[in-house]
């Protein structure tokens, strides 16, 4: 039984979540444009990082029952590449202490 992301999405992100789920279910990934996905990912990454560095750290960044390890590694690898980082750069941040 698949767990729907929609069950935990608020109205703020519900439209995007619904569009993403529809695209994934139908196999028609072009239903969400690359530009739309980039805008959403950029905003989500910036907000998550700000919350993670705040005095009240954010909850986990994804629902592990929904995403696969492959989903995570593909996404993280592309985020690292898009920022011009390498694994050595990432290793410096990986075990950093929180405030």
| pLDDT tens digits along 14-50 | 899 999 999 999 999 999 999 999 999 999 999 998 9
- Tell me what pLDDT residue 9 has: 54
> Distance (Å, rounded) from C-alpha 47 to C-alpha 58?
9
> Distance (Å, rounded) from C-alpha 48 to C-alpha 54?
10
> Distance (Å, rounded) from C-alpha 14 to C-alpha 20?
10
The residue assigned the tokens 């994934």 is 24
CB 24 within 8 A of CB 67: no
**Average pLDDT, stretch 83-99?**
83
> Distance (Å, rounded) from C-alpha 98 to C-alpha 58?
12
Q: What is the DSSP letter of 95?
A: T
> Distance (Å, rounded) from C-alpha 6 to C-alpha 19?
10
């Amino acid at each position: 039984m698949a767990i729907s992301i929609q069950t935990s999405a608020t109205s703020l992100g519900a439209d995007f979540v619904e569009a993403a789920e529809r695209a994934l279910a139908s196999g028609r990934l072009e239903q969400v444009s690359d530009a739309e996905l980039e805008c959403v990912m950029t905003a989500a990454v910036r907000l998550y990082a700000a919350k993670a560095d705040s005095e009240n750290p954010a909850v986990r960044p994804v629902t592990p029952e929904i995403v696969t390890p492959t989903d995570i590694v593909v996404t993280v690898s592309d985020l690292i590449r898009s920022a011009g980082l390498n694994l050595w750069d990432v290793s410096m941040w990986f075990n950093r202490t929180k405030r």
